[in-house]
Structure 1
Amino acid sequence: MTDQREVVVTRWPGRAASAEGELAGLLAAYHLRTQAEKGETVADADGLPDRYRAEVLDPLAAFVDGVVLVALSGDTAVGCLVVTAPVGRRCEVKRLWTDPAFRGRGIASALVSAGLAHARESGVRTVQLSVWKWRTGAIALYERLGFTVVESWDERDQLACMERAV
């Protein structure tokens, strides 16, 4: 049975500072799932490419210029999203992940909405993201939240680029 407590989104560190290990676990799950979907399965975070392993080992250092939002159920981190520092009037959202046991409860939507609000408060005009084309559920979520597919700024095959005004 999954926990049905209210889930709140907070900026990390801060109220969620004690959840660093849980945030690392969420990031590890995100990256391990992505590697598996790309056909490059690794056993654990130690097998991740260096740049992704660095995020898992030290999220605070990896995202020092951005903002990490964490969804909490009680004191348990159940989802995360990173908003990069603005460049010009643009920023990017990335690393959206919800613990599978907590999916279907609007957590991803709440995280993205909080990320958009943060971007707006930071003076950003456009929020970008990239998502693997096979993640059709994520693409549908982003479209429901007003993102549209745009010409790719990334050369990786199977990656869809999206953006929306804030």
Structure 2
Amino acid sequence: MTDQGEVAVVRRPGSFTSAESELTGLLAAYHLQTEAEKGNAVADVDELPDRYRTEVSDPRSAFAGDVVLLAHRGGTGVGCLVMTAPADGRSEVKRLWTAPAARGQGIASTLLGAALEHAAESGVSTVRLSVWNWRTGAITLYERLGFAVTESWDGRDQLVCMQGTV
């Protein structure tokens, strides 16, 4: 566990039942919001595309081999981040999410910092991520932390690909 001020970051919370429940809630909120922003609003998790519904219903299996970070504040899960297992000296950040009520408190920065620290400890030299172009606040955060826009590895329209070195 990494303690960053009032925010505690837990690695691999899937081993703890209560943390897995918190992670499920954060992932559900992330995917529901993302689908709404893409113009595909759905009423609940059961209407999400299969791959996202699987992440929400069984994050332990969906992210097996990956590192899952969960941020707690006051005993409550307020943010999450998934870092893929290293491959060819790089990892990818996925599913960075901060609960709306906890935004503006440094939680995303803390999660990213913990992810980059883990990457360095794991021998990763490059970390990449993708972000929707309308999430300008996230793009600004990534740039502040040293990420730069790079050639896309994902053909989805409006997706910005970025990478940084560790």
The alignment's TM-score, normalised by the length of structure 1, stands at 0.94
Shift of the alpha carbon at 1:75? 2.4
Residue in structure 1 matched with residue 128 of structure 2 by the alignment: 128
**Cα distance in 2 between the residues matched to 1:58 and 1:14:** 9
Moved more, 141-150 or 71-80: 71-80
- Flag structure 1 segments of 5+ consecutive residues without an equivalent: none
Residue in structure 2 matched with residue 34 of structure 1 by the alignment: 34
Residue in structure 2 matched with residue 63 of structure 1 by the alignment: 63
Contact 1:10 1:16 in 2 (8 A): no
Shift of the alpha carbon at 1:73? 1.3
**Cα distance in 1 between the residues matched to 2:144 and 2:91:** 19
Shift of the alpha carbon at 1:22? 1.3
* Aligned 1:101-112 pairs, distance under 5 A: 101-112=101-112
Shift of the alpha carbon at 1:17? 4.4
Shift of the alpha carbon at 1:48? 0.3
Moved more, 66-75 or 33-42: 66-75
Shift of the alpha carbon at 1:16? 5.3
Q: List per-residue Cα deviations over 1:108-144 (Å, max 9, x = no partner).
A: 0000010001111110000000000010000000000
**Cα distance in 1 between the residues matched to 2:101 and 2:17:** 22
**Cα distance in 2 between the residues matched to 1:16 and 1:161:** 32
**Cα distance in 1 between the residues matched to 2:15 and 2:24:** 16
Q: List per-residue Cα deviations over 1:19-53 (Å, max 9, x = no partner).
A: 21111010000000000000000001100000000
Moved more, 26-35 or 12-21: 12-21
Contact 2:24 2:57 in 1 (8 A): yes
**Cα distance in 1 between the residues matched to 2:164 and 2:13:** 27
**SS of alignment partner, residue 8 of structure 1:** strand
Q: List per-residue Cα deviations over 1:88-125 (Å, max 9, x = no partner).
A: 10110010000111111100000001000111111000
**Cα distance in 2 between the residues matched to 1:13 and 1:22:** 9
Residue in structure 2 matched with residue 152 of structure 1 by the alignment: 152
What is the CA RMSD across the aligned residues, in angstroms?
1.4
Identity %: 68
Contact 1:72 1:79 in 2 (8 A): yes
